[in-house]
């Protein structure tokens, strides 16, 4: 009797496994950027692009070695940039968020080093970090889908 129960239990397990494996789950389309989603992201991206357009001002301040103005510019016009990039990143598809987060972190690391260089009046370091910030800024913006991508 015990042997019959064991065989019956094994058959039930095999039948259940077979039915689950053969069951047709509803195929789900991979998430994509809809025009509405792209429009929403574009709204969040506007302040980021505006900050990027002002980056040459920061470069000029570094060239002029106007260290107090460099500090004021980073904490003033660029002060809300972290919140703006976070909003853009959260609006992206889950698969695209890590790259955007990493690029934004690199961008802000450059700003922190520019700030430190300004405090130490280190012109070459500030200029090198500025160039890195511009590159990361552009990289971040290029990660974001546009109407033509969708």
pLDDT, tens digit, 9 for 90 and up, residues 110-141: 999 999 999 999 999 999 999 999 999 999 99
The string of pLDDT tens digits covering residues 48-77 is 999 999 999 999 999 999 999 999 999 998
Distances in Å between the alpha carbon of 41 and those of 27, 66, 132? Answer: 27, 35, 25
Q: How far apart are CA 45 and CA 141, in angstroms?
A: 8
Average pLDDT across the chain, whole number = 87
In terms of Cα–Cα distance, which of 47, 46, 112 is closest to 74?
Answer: 112
Q: How confident is the model at residue 32, as a pLDDT? A: 85
| Token couple for 59 | 């470069």
Q: Are 133 and 110 in contact (CB under 8 A)?
A: yes
Give me the pLDDT at residue 146, please: 79
Distances in Å between the alpha carbon of 124 and those of 47, 127, 134? 29, 5, 16
Domains plus CATH for the chain? Answer: 33-143 (1.20.120.290)
Distance, CA of 84 to CA of 100 (rounded, Å): 12
């Amino acid at each position: 009797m015990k042997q019959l129960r064991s065989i019956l239990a094994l058959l039930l397990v095999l039948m259940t496994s077979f039915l689950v494996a053969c069951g047709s789950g509803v195929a789900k389309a991979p998430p994509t950027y809809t025009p509405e989603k792209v429009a929403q992201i574009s709204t969040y991206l506007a302040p980021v692009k505006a900050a990027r357009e002002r980056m040459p001002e920061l470069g000029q301040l570094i060239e002029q070695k106007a260290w107090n103005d460099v500090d004021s510019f980073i904490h003033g016009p660029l002060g809300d940039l972290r919140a703006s990039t976070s909003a853009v990143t959260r609006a992206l598809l889950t698969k695209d968020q890590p790259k955007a987060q990493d690029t934004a972190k690199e961008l802000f690391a450059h700003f922190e080093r520019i700030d430190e260089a300004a405090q130490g009046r280190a012109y070459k370091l500030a200029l090198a970090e500025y160039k890195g910030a511009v590159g990361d800024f552009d990289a971040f913006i290029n990660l974001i889908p546009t109407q033509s991508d969708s």
